[in-house]
Amino acid sequence: MTDALLQVAHAPLTAIALTLAAFVFALWLYRRTGWLVLQPVLITMLLIIAGIRLLQLDYAAYREAVVPIAWLLGPTTVALAVPLYRNLRRIRANLWPVMVTLLVGGIAIVAITLLTAGLLGADLPVLMTLVTKSVTMPIAMPLAEQLGGLAALAAVLVMLTGVLGTVMLPPLLKLTGVVHPAARGMAYGMNAHAVGTARALEEGDECAAFAALAMGALGVLTALLLPAAVIGWRWLGALG
Amino acid sequence: MLKGLLLLVVMQAMGALLQALWLPMLPAPVIGLLLLALLVLLGRIPESLEQASAALLGYLPLMLAIPATGIVLGGDVLLAQLPAIGAGLVVSLLLCIPLCGVLMQRLMAGQREDD
């Protein structure tokens, strides 16, 4: 009897059921309470981890079992082209503000993060991981590794930034009087990447389009410019 | 719906091909996003793509939650340097959220006055 129970508990189907159930509950909780702290991504993640511990599943086996759900992240990322396209005219009309905000904001995010963490004594691998924290996860993990950071930590920091940012964004934007959907979208996408974009989808199509644009453009810019900046920095250090 | 999903997967596969050939620093889905954006620029968005993307985007938090569970693997370093990491995250968010939002809103308002 217990053998049969254990067999079912450790079957791939259970991992999928656990994942779906966690998400259904997290979504219900978020809609029911309306509390930003209860971000569906965060609650789903916590429930899944609790489930894995409770059922004593092997983590690698769990990830293997939920591949049928997890692979959809790729096509879903591609699907962000649709809101982007629908708001193309608005984006084109504001191309100049978008570029300036991306450059100024992107540099500020990296500089302020490094300065704060560096002053408080974070070591180099952690710093090289922190610079990737505002970039969407599939870019952040290989990028952190390339810069001499830690890929596993990068995934954690990206997720923390996304959830924390999404909780902090609405009150901070309200405080500073940012009401335009495009400006809100830029702030969501640049500071909280995909988690922020998921929240921006709730605010409407224009907000989501600018969030997706900000997330994608900041990711591409960071992936292209940051390795060059780090190499330049090391080169300067070697000279001096 | 299925045709739309097929289009998304094909774009991602093309992205993977381009990544392997020339763009190792960009993930395949992001290249696929750019390719699809270029493709729909040429025409319009088919009904099936509209349906597939709306369905998938609604489940975005679910798909993000799965890689996020990787926190069980990277937690040790995080705990060891928690004050520095936590402060770095919170301070940069506190300053950069208003910066990005306000800057974008001001720049757009300024542009409108110029017109």
Give the highest mean pLDDT range of A74-78, A105-109, A148-152, B62-66: A105-109
Nearest CB neighbour to A97, from listed B5, B87, B108: B108
Asked which of A150-154, B3-7, B92-96 is least confident by mean pLDDT, the reply is A150-154
The whole-number pLDDT of residue B64 equals: 82
Q: Which of B72, B31, B14, B36 is nearest to A63 (CA)?
A: B72
DSSP A133: T
Which residues lie below 8 Å from residue B80, measured CB to CB, with a gap of 6+? none
Instruction: Mutate one of A18, A78, A230 to test the B interface: name it (highest B CB count within 10 A).
Output: A78
Q: In this predicted model, what pLDDT tens digit does every residue of A63-91 receive, in sequence order?
A: 999 999 989 988 988 888 888 787 788 88
* Strand, helix or coil for residue B69: coil
> Which residue blocks in A34-56 are alpha helix, DSSP H?
40-55
Q: In this predicted model, what pLDDT tens digit does every residue of B39-91 receive, in sequence order?
A: 888 878 888 888 999 899 888 889 888 888 877 776 777 788 888 989 999 99
The interface predicted TM-score (ipTM) is 0.85
Confidence of residue A240 (pLDDT cuts 50, 70, 90): low
- Which chain B residues are closer than 8 Å to A175 by Cβ? 98
Q: Could you tell me the pTM of the whole model?
A: 0.81
